Structure formats: C-alpha cells, structure tokens
Amino acid sequence: MASTHVDYTAMEWASAVAFYGPAAVHDGKDVVQLKVLSDRRADGGGIAWLVKFSPPPGKLIKIVATALSDEHIFSLQGGRSTKSGQRAQGSGGYGLNPKGQPHSAMISSETEALVIYAGEPDEIKSMEIVNIAPAG
C-alpha cells in the first residue's frame, strides 16, 4: 500500500453529522466539524480525523460514547471541561480510550483535536448542548 499524504491546512471543515449524529448541528450551525485525514476501514484499518468543537456561548457540548476500537485523542487547542465550564484538560493532552471503554467529554470552549481510531470510530450514545452549570 502506498503512503498517504494530505495538506490538512488546505482542507475545508465538514459537518460531523455522519459520525456524531444530528446534535452536531445546533440552531442551524455546525458545532462539531471534521477533516478526515485517512479512512482505511474498508481495508481493515482505522480512521483519523481532526475534529473541531465550537460550543455556543454559555453552553457546553456533552458527549457520551463507547469506544468501538482503540481511540487516541491528542488535544491541539482548547480541551475538555467540567460541568461548570472550568478547564479539566487543556491543549497538549493525550488520552486513550481502549476498545469497549464507555467514556464522556464536556467541552465548553472551541477545541481542536487529532483523533485516531484503530478501527471503527466511537458509538455515540448521546450528544447534547447544555447550559454551563453554576460553579460550586
């Protein structure tokens, strides 16, 4: 198989509805977008993408999922947060959700990450836009 090379800076962000479901759009705006860098699932491989989360002001994106294959997440900008919108993990962080692992994320600020799946991407159990909870 030949090597794959892409210029992700020249790629347009695309809607993530196909992977994250209809909640990837809120009030007519894409709040989750992707740049699919490679997709080798048809050949028994995995899929890699850049993902951008853009929660509306005063809200956060809450995702509950199960890993259908090993999922590697490299936070490039922004990061996960708490229910009150406080930073829980910032850019430069790395996470691994092994196959079968239920997991969740709350994102309260614009966030970009490189996500690499060894096979199929996560099964999204739920995704919703919720108000940031008061601290305390």
- Give 14-131's CATH code, choosing from 3.40.1080.10, 2.60.120.10, 3.30.2290.10, 3.30.450.60: 2.60.120.10
Tens-digit pLDDT profile for residues 69-82: 999 999 999 877 77
Share of the chain above pLDDT 90, in %: 78
Helices (H) and strands (E) counted in the chain, each on its own, are 1, 13
User: Could you tell me the pLDDT band of residue 89, with boundaries at 50, 70 and 90?
Assistant: low
Q: Categorize the per-residue pLDDT at 90 as very low, low, confident or very high, splitting at 50, 70 and 90.
A: low
- Please give the pLDDT value at position 92: 72
31, two tokens? 């709040």
Residue 80 CA to residue 104 CA, distance in Å, equals 10
Mean pLDDT of the chain: 92
Evaluate whether 49 touches 74 at the Cβ level (below 8 Å): no
Mean pLDDT for the stretch of residues 59-72: 96
Residue pair 45/96 in contact (Cβ under 8 Å)? The answer is no
Write the pLDDT tens digit of every residue in 106-123: 999 999 999 999 999 999
Ranges of each domain in the chain: 14-131
Residue 135 clears pLDDT 90, i.e. is over it = no
CA 119 to chain centre: 16
Q: What are phi and psi of 99, to 5 degrees?
A: -50, 130
Q: What is the mean pLDDT of residues 100-108?
A: 94
In 3D space, the residue among 122, 130, 127 whose CA is nearest the CA of residue 102 turns out to be 122
